Amino acid sequence: MNSVRVNALKGISLKIAPADFIAIMGRSGSGKSTLVHILGCLDLPSKGRVFLDGHDISKLSESALAQIRGKKIGFVFQQFNLIPSLNAMQNVALPMAFQGVPEKERTARAKELLAMVGLAGRELHRPTEMSGGEQQRVAIARALSNDPEIILADEPTGNLDSKTGKHVMDVLLRLHDKQKKTLIVVTHDPYVAQYAEIVLNLMDGQLLKDHRVAKKFVWGQK
């Protein structure tokens, strides 16, 4: 910013393996969002390297990064980011259209995904006709539309009450435990972090702790 240099991240080195469930924690301004944007190929590092499946993303073009994001990574945002003029099924089907999936297949998969997150019968409702928890479940279904290997969730329960937030986390837990998706969840909530197997703690752009924890919740167990 003009003559002032702001280092959002400083010397972070980490490895994420397939089917890991990671929680990234830290105060506001700690670098959580910057880190998840780089992991999700939304931003490129000004220094250093980031490898995804052996490819250094910092050397890829924007079109190549867009293809990676569309096929390998699903995003779930705190603000849902649903398109208000589209119903639930259309919101879920939209990413598949960008990948050239035929309309009939898009519709069938969108319906299947909405049923999986507990929204069967709500396919034709628009976001304004749904609760916050329902909108977030639509967002999760949309993130799964192209069957990505990685799910990035940035404060997925931040705008939800505790009961609804638990329901959303149970959906994500199922994706990890049953479908072996790699989950990376940004959160400031210690309860949400208990779902993860690895917790990364950030402060002032630096990784303070990178430790494996005993995951408290397992899909199918009360």
pLDDT score at 216: 66
Q: Can you tell me the distance from the alpha carbon of 88 to that of 168, in angstroms, rounded to the nearest whole number? A: 16
Q: Which CATH superfamily is domain 24-212 in?
A: P-loop containing nucleotide triphosphate hydrolases (3.40.50.300)
Contact (Cβ atoms closer than 8 angstroms) between residue 72 and residue 144:
no
Sign, CA torsion 211/207/51/64: positive
Q: What is the mean pLDDT of the chain?
A: 89
For residue 52, give the amino acid letter: L
What confidence score (pLDDT) does residue 132 get? 93
Indicate yes or no: pTM above 0.85.
Answer: yes
> For 24-74, what is each residue's pLDDT tens digit?
998 888 999 889 889 999 888 888 899 998 889 888 888 888 888 888 999
pLDDT digits (tens, 9 = 90+) for 76-109: 988 899 999 999 999 999 999 988 999 999 999 9
Question: Residue 184: helix, strand or coil by DSSP?
Answer: strand
Please check the confidence at residue 192 and state whether its pLDDT lies above 70.
Answer: yes
CA dist., res. 27 & res. 202, Å (int): 8
Indicate the SS3 state at residue 55: strand
- Cβ contact 195:21 at 8 Å: yes
Quote the Cα angle for 219-190-28, to 5°: 130
pLDDT, tens digit, 9 for 90 and up, residues 107-162 = 999 999 999 999 999 999 999 999 999 999 999 999 999 999 999 999 999 888 88
Q: How far apart are CA 140 and CA 142, in angstroms?
A: 5
Say if CB 91 and CB 83 are below 8 A apart.
yes
